[in-house]
Amino acid sequence: MSAQPRHRLPPPIKIGKLVEHVRLIARDAITGARLVMGAAIRLDDLLKDLDVEHDHGRELDEDREIMHVQPSPPTRATKEVQGDDKSIDAWVAPPSSPPPPPSSNAKSLPPLDLVEDRTPEQMTADGDSRSPAQLKRGARSILEVLVSVGTPLTRTRVATLTGLSKTSGSFSTYLSELRTRGLVVDEGDMLRATEKGQIETGTVTKTSEEEIRAMWNAKLGKGAREILAALRSMHPRALSRTQLATLAGLSPSSGSYATYLSTLRSNALIEEGVMLRLTAEGLIVAGPKTKPPTTEQLLERWTSKLQGAARTMLEVLVDVYPKSMTYAELGAAVKVNPRSGSFSTYLSKLRSNELISTDKGSACASPVFGGE
């Protein structure tokens, strides 16, 4: 039979010691309350010196009498708080008694600097070097654009000229800050810098189109820039999604292509319906018009991305454009059996990128390669 474990009994509670702990806790609580009360009385004295009225003056007068009539002797807690031999009663002196002599280590408080609210113009006239909080960088960019142009601009144009996204929360925050400070006002769908806004910025040099393009080139990916360049080369002609993708050297069915279009559309650089074209802002970012790529340039751009016989098939079909070729003729030209799986794979690759079209056993190059 195993021995039962023995439980140790807790030591007996000494009532005298417990009472002593409670007394010490109560004493420290009273000392803390007196410290808080003393701070409140000092604040009341300061408010009276400043002729500031408040609702608790009577209660503080009663507390003042209580603290002076019923002083408590210094305690260890009081000494620890103050760091010297003075009790709370010593540094909360009654109004009738002279103030205690200042300690050699005491530091006098600086006088309160009560300055009324003034406008920036008044502060400058008075020689006051203090100024309102500086504008955030984005807000200042918006203000500088409006001041430099000198005429009201649409939000879209402002966003383009500053390199900001019109749909972003930051753009709305910057405009809100400028309106609140009276630097910018709305005129219908337009934004205009106020006279105060012109004073805020001073003389501003108008941002050149080269600087605007450099700013956007740093923000846009290579694919988005290729799309802008392709649309610019064909402007004012609009392009289908397929034509634009081919000219930009992108796959019209890829996720990247859709992302580039979404970025350009959200920044109001392109407009999209059935066809795609540049907006007025997109023309600024795209830069001067360039010549459309030649058939040879387009072919070189795409053949560098194609592999094996797919490259040769495209070159053959472009050479005979606008004519089409049967699968048998095309297979013979590239030396691939038209009934093989490889032939079908090559055709599928060209067709998915919409470089060719197929119909009833024949294939034809895309009209883009014919300059259409």
**Residues 252, 256, 262, CA angle at the centre, nearest 5°?**
90
Together in a domain, 244 and 309: no
Q: What is the DSSP string of 225-267?
A: HHHHHHHHHHTTS-B-HHHHHHHHT--TTSHHHHHHHHHHHHT
26-30, 94-98, 120-124, 180-184: range with highest mean pLDDT: 180-184
Q: Decide: helix, strand or coil at residue 338.
A: coil
Q: Which of 244, 241, 240, 220 is nearest to 231 (CA)?
A: 244
Lowest mean pLDDT among 8-17, 103-112, 156-165, 300-309: 103-112
Q: Is residue 50 part of a domain?
A: yes
Is the same domain home to 34 and 85?
A: yes
- Residue owning tokens 């807790």: 10
Q: Residue 228: which of 271, 172, 195, 180 has the closest Cα? A: 271
- Residues 302 and 359 both lie in one domain: yes
Q: Are residues 234 and 273 in the same domain?
A: yes
pLDDT tens-place string over residues 308-353: 888 999 999 999 999 999 999 999 999 999 999 999 999 998 888 8
Of 129-143, 158-172, 250-264, 283-297, give the lowest mean pLDDT range.
Answer: 129-143
24 and 75 part of one domain: yes
Instruction: Say which CATH number the domain at 181 has.
Output: 1.10.10.10
- Return the higher-pLDDT residue of 16 and 2: 16
Report yes or no on 208 lying in a domain: no
124 part of a folded domain: no
58 belongs to a structural domain = yes
Model confidence at 28, pLDDT cuts 50, 70, 90, reads confident
Which is more confidently placed, 216 or 44? Answer: 216
* Identity at 155, one-letter amino acid code: R
Share above pLDDT 70 across residues of the chain, in percent, rounded to a whole number: 68
Kind plus residue range of the DSSP H or E element containing 356: strand 356-359
Using the structure block, give the residue that is written with the tokens 């509670």: 13
Q: Distance between CA 308 and CA 334 in Å, rounded?
A: 10
Q: What's the first-to-final CA gap in the chain, in angstroms? A: 103
- What mean pLDDT do residues 292-313 have? 84
Which alpha helices (H) appear in the chain, and where do they start and end? Answer: 15-49, 57-69, 76-82, 88-91, 120-125, 137-149, 155-162, 169-180, 195-201, 209-219, 222-234, 241-248, 255-266, 280-286, 295-303, 309-320, 327-334, 341-352
Tens of pLDDT along 99-117? 556 555 544 444 444 444 4
Region of poorest pLDDT, from 92-106, 152-166, 302-316: 92-106
Query: Is 291 or 283 the better-scoring residue by pLDDT?
Result: 283
In a domain, 55, yes or no: yes
pLDDT band at 131, cuts 50/70/90?
very low
What dihedral do alpha carbons 117, 119, 121, 125 form, nearest 10°? -10
Q: Tell me what the mean pLDDT of segment 347-362 comes to.
A: 88
Main-chain phi, psi angles of 192, to 5 degrees: -140, 140
Examine the domain organization and report whether 303 and 366 are in the same domain. Answer: yes
State the amino acid at position 356 in one-letter form.
I
Which residue among 91, 113, 145 closes a domain? Answer: 91
**Contacts of 256-265 spanning 24+ positions with Cβ under 8 A:** 256/223, 257/223, 260/221, 260/223, 260/224, 260/227, 261/227, 263/220, 263/221, 263/224, 264/220, 264/224, 264/227, 264/228
Q: How many domains is the chain partitioned into structurally?
A: 4
Instruction: Please indicate, yes or no, whether the overall pTM of this predicted structure exceeds 0.75.
Output: no
Q: Is 362 exposed, middle or buried (0-12, 13-18, 19+ CB in 10 A)?
A: middle
Q: Is residue 104 part of a domain?
A: no
Both 272 and 299 in a single domain? Answer: no
281 and 300, same domain (yes or no) = no
Work out the average pLDDT over 51-61: 57
101 or 213, which is more confident? 213
Residues 246 and 273 in one domain: yes
pLDDT of residue 60: 55
Of 48, 39, 54, give the one whose Cα is nearest residue 92.
Answer: 39
Tell me the C-alpha distance between 160 and 154, whole Å.
10
Residue 372 burial class via C-beta count within 10 angstroms: exposed 0-12, middle 13-18, buried 19 and up? exposed
Q: Which two tokens stand for residue 289?
A: 């018009």
265 lies in a domain?
Answer: yes
Average pLDDT score over residue span 280-292: 87
pLDDT reading at 86 higher than 70: no
The confidence band for 234, taking pLDDT boundaries of 50, 70 and 90, is confident
Q: Which of 134, 138, 143 is nearest to 163 (CA)?
A: 138
Torsion of CA 325, 331, 337, 341, to 10 degrees: -70
Using 50, 70 and 90 to split pLDDT, how confident is the model at 66? low
Sheet with 184-187: strands ordered across: 153-154, 190-193, 184-187
Average pLDDT over residues 261-289: 89
Domain of residue 316 covers 295-370
Is 7 inside a domain boundary? Answer: no
DSSP output for 163-220? T--TTSHHHHHHHHHHHHTTSEEEETTEEEE-HHHHHHH-S-PPPPHHHHHHHHHHHS
Please check whether residue 160 is in contact with residue 269, taking contact to mean a CB–CB distance below 8 angstroms. Answer: yes
